[in-house]
């Protein structure tokens, strides 16, 4: 189990993470989402033991991750901007990681070499961003770590490779009970693989839930009334956003679906529909709920 306990991280005057706490259940695929600069990469660097938090701790199976080789053996981290030496090749990195990780699986590596179209003798610095990502993933998957931390892993990958990565990650979880933590702004991809999500905003956690539960807690409703409706009845609901076009209301409301439906039906709409939300819409609604004005940003 991974526990984030009351973590604060400052860079000079800037507080990147503030009193952040949550738990990632073992064997789950946890999507870390949040706007740019919200602190996702900083958190992954703390979990992997690269950064030391100013306060609090990241603990894996009850042990602090910072300067703890025993814990680091269980983790593999692919950062958003991995650093490679000028002459690094997949082969040279494999020679390094094979000795470093007791869980290294040579058979798996050989198999991945046939799946990924990557020259293992080619210099990594000369590869495209997407190819570099694939090279890093080949190694990460061959390590068969108990915890795998991936920062913006879908960046620069073509759709076929994105599908492949998702499939291979799912296999790793099934075979090895690996816990996966992926920070990404690609919500579409996260939606396919994650069972839990954590939303960070301004260095604090806004929401941490099972994905299905997050989707159940927020609803989009379209309702048409015979006459233009006073908005008075909406005061009983936790409305995140509201659009009104004459007799039609388009609402995003937090809370239990059945209760919301009953309250709106009591107003006798001539037409009403509850629409499912995608992860992207959940994200936007949750961000709006904390005062993040998406429309304002999109219009700029
Ligand atoms: P995200 O990955 O969610 O986009 P980051 O974790 O990269 O966000 O950054 C969070 C905040 O911390 C940003 O304001 C960023 O400028 C700041 N930050 C991150 N790393 C450093 C660093 N090494 N030095 C100074 N500020 C940093
Ligand atoms: Mg980042």
Asked whether residue 26 falls in the same domain as residue 175, the answer is: yes
pLDDT in tens, 221-254: 999 999 887 788 888 899 888 889 989 999 989 8
Residue 180's nearest CA partner among 158, 202, 195, 159 is 195
Question: Which of 7, 9, 11 to mutate for ligand 1's pocket (most ligand atoms within 8 Å of CB)?
Answer: 11
Give 89's DSSP letter. B
Q: For position 279, which CATH number holds?
A: 3.30.70
CA dihedral 167, 172, 178, 181 (to 10 degrees): -30
Q: Rounded to an integer, what distance in angstroms lies between the CA atom of residue 111 and that of residue 131?
A: 17
Asked whether residue 202 falls in the same domain as residue 236, the answer is: no
Residue 31: pLDDT band by 50, 70, 90 thresholds?
very high
Residues with CB under 5 A from ligand 2 (ion): 40-41
What is the predicted pLDDT for the residue at 229? 78
Residue 300 has pLDDT above 80, yes or no: no
Asked whether residue 169 falls in the same domain as residue 244, the answer is: no
What is the predicted pLDDT for the residue at 299? 45
What is the predicted pLDDT for the residue at 42? 97
pLDDT in tens, 41-99: 999 999 999 999 999 999 999 999 998 888 889 999 999 988 899 999 999 999 999 99
Asked whether residue 101 falls in the same domain as residue 133, the answer is: yes
Asked whether residue 163 falls in the same domain as residue 205, the answer is: yes
Q: Rounded to an integer, what distance in angstroms lies between the CA atom of residue 1 and that of residue 22?
A: 11
Asked whether residue 197 falls in the same domain as residue 78, the answer is: yes
- How far is the centre of ligand 2, averaged over its atoms, from the C-alpha of 184 (Å)? 8
| Domain's final residue, options 210, 228, 251 | 210
Asked whether residue 7 falls in the same domain as residue 145, the answer is: yes
Atom of ligand 1 nearest to the CA of 152: 2
Asked whether residue 165 falls in the same domain as residue 293, the answer is: no
49 to 58, 121, 130, 216, 268: CA distances (angstroms): 8, 30, 26, 35, 57
Asked whether residue 150 falls in the same domain as residue 86, the answer is: yes
| Domain's final residue, options 165, 193, 210 | 210
> Is the minimum distance from the CB of 20 to ligand 1 under 6 angstroms?
no
> Is the minimum distance from the CB of 16 to ligand 1 under 6 angstroms?
yes
| Domain's final residue, options 194, 210, 226 | 210
Q: How many domains does the chain have?
A: 2
| Closest listed ligand to the CA of 36 | 1
What is the predicted pLDDT for the residue at 295? 55
Question: Which of 18, 42, 206 to mutate for ligand 1's pocket (most ligand atoms within 8 Å of CB)?
Answer: 42
What is the predicted pLDDT for the residue at 125? 94
Residue 214's nearest CA partner among 119, 123, 281 is 281
> Is the minimum distance from the CB of 203 to ligand 1 under 6 angstroms?
no
Q: With contact defined as beta carbons under 8 Å apart, do 7 and 19 qualify? A: yes
The residue segments making up the domain with residue 252 are: 217-299
H-helix or E-strand containing 188? helix 187-193
What is the predicted pLDDT for the residue at 298? 47
Q: For position 11, which CATH number holds?
A: 3.40.50.300
Asked whether residue 223 falls in the same domain as residue 295, the answer is: yes
Phi, psi of 154 (to 5 degrees): -85, -5
Asked whether residue 102 falls in the same domain as residue 123, the answer is: yes
Mean pLDDT of 261-275: 93
- How far is the centre of ligand 1, averaged over its atoms, from the C-alpha of 40 (Å)? 8
Summary mean pLDDT of the chain: 91
Asked whether residue 87 falls in the same domain as residue 180, the answer is: yes
Percent of the chain past pLDDT 70, that is, above it, reads: 97
Residue 291 has pLDDT above 80, yes or no: no
> Is the minimum distance from the CB of 34 to ligand 1 under 6 angstroms?
yes
Q: With contact defined as beta carbons under 8 Å apart, do 110 and 64 qualify? A: no
pLDDT in tens, 134-160: 999 999 999 999 999 999 999 889 999
Could you tell me which residue, 283 or 40, shows the higher pLDDT? 40
What is the predicted pLDDT for the residue at 113? 95
């Amino acid at each position: 189990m991974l526990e984030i306990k009351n973590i604060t991280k400052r860079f000079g005057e800037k507080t990147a993470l503030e009193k952040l706490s949550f738990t990632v259940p073992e064997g789950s695929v946890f999507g870390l989402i949040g706007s740019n600069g919200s602190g996702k990469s900083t958190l992954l660097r703390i979990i992997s033991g690269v950064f030391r938090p100013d306060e609090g701790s990241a603990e894996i199976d009850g042990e602090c991750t910072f300067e703890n080789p025993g814990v680091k053996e269980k983790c593999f981290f692919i950062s958003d901007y991995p650093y490679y030496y000028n002459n690094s090749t997949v082969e040279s990195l494999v020679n390094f990681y094979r000795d470093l990780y007791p869980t290294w699986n040579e058979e798996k590596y050989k198999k991945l070499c046939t799946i990924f179209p990557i020259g293992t003798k080619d210099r990594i610095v000369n590869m495209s961003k997407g190819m570099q990502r694939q090279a890093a993933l080949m190694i990460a998957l061959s390590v068969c770590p108990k915890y795998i931390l991936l920062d913006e892993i879908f960046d620069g990958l073509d759709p076929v490779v994105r599908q492949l990565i998702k499939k291979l990650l799912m296999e790793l979880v099934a075979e090895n009970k690996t816990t996966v933590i992926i920070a990404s702004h690609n919500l579409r991809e996260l939606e396919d693989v994650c069972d839990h999500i954590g939303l960070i905003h301004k260095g604090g956690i806004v929401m941490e839930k099972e994905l299905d539960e997050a989707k159940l807690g927020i609803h989009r409703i379209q309702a048409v009334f015979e006459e233009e409706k006073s908005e008075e009845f909406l005061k009983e609901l936790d409305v995140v956003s509201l659009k009104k076009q004459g007799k039609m209301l388009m609402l995003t409301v937090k809370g239990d679906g059945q209760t919301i439906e009953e309250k709106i039906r009591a107003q006798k709409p001539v037409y009403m529909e509850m629409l499912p939300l995608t992860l992207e819409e959940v994200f936007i609604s949750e961000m709006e709920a904390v005062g993040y004005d998406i429309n304002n940003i999109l219009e700029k």
